[in-house]
């Protein structure tokens, strides 16, 4: 989990969190390039009432064990929106690394439920440390 990071663009944002996940051992060295390529081909930005959120992921073959990477940016950066390719300003990145392909759908559904809750998004934005964010994620069934 990285909080209030300053980045120049979405590629740097994705790279930072992918590097962190590689260092933790959750993903293989191939993960970063795979997730960066997939983001170009299949954008993952989602506009919400308060902020933009991105949920990048890639194939399970690049994953050693399940992990959800969380990046809260100091200032939003542009991502392309899922589906229509419109530019949106993203403040939160939830990067999925899951060993089972079917697990991605379940995790995406939990994350979408979370981001549709304006109050929870406000809490994530105001959280002062990683423990607060972990507790909020655990409370909605994201572990």
- Domain total for the chain? 1
pTM above 0.85, yes or no: yes
**pLDDT value of residue 141:** 79
Q: What residue spans of the chain are helical by DSSP H?
A: 10-24, 31-41, 101-115, 118-126, 130-139
**pLDDT value of residue 58:** 92
Radius of gyration of the chain, Cα coordinates, nearest whole angstrom: 14
What values do phi and psi take at 131, rounded to 5?
A: -60, -40
Which is more confident, 106 or 102? 106
**For residues 38 and 30, what is the distance between their CA atoms, to the nearest angstrom?**
12
- Report the mean per-residue pLDDT for the chain: 92
Q: What residue spans of 28-100 are helical by DSSP H?
A: 31-41
**For residues 83 and 135, what is the distance between their CA atoms, to the nearest angstrom?**
31
- The CATH number of residue 123's host domain is 3.40.930.10
pLDDT tens profile 19-51: 999 999 999 999 999 999 999 999 999 998 778
With tokens 């993203």, the residue in question is: 90
Task: For residue 39, give its domain range.
Answer: 2-139
């Amino acid at each position: 989990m990285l909080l209030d990071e300053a980045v120049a663009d979405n590629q740097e944002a994705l790279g930072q969190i992918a590097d962190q996940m590689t260092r933790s051992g959750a993903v293989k060295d191939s993960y970063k390039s795979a997730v960066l390529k997939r983001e170009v081909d299949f954008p993952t930005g989602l506009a919400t009432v308060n902020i933009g959120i991105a949920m990048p992921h890639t194939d399970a073959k690049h994953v050693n064990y399940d992990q959800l990477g969380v990046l809260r940016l100091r200032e939003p950066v542009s991502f392309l929106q899922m589906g229509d390719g419109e530019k949106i300003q993203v403040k939160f990145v939830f990067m999925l690394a899951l060993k089972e392909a079917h697990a991605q759908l379940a995790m995406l559904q939990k994350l979408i439920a979370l981001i549709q809750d304006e109050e929870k998004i406000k809490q994530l934005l105001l959280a002062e440390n990683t423990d607060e964010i972990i507790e909020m994620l655990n409370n909605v069934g994201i572990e």
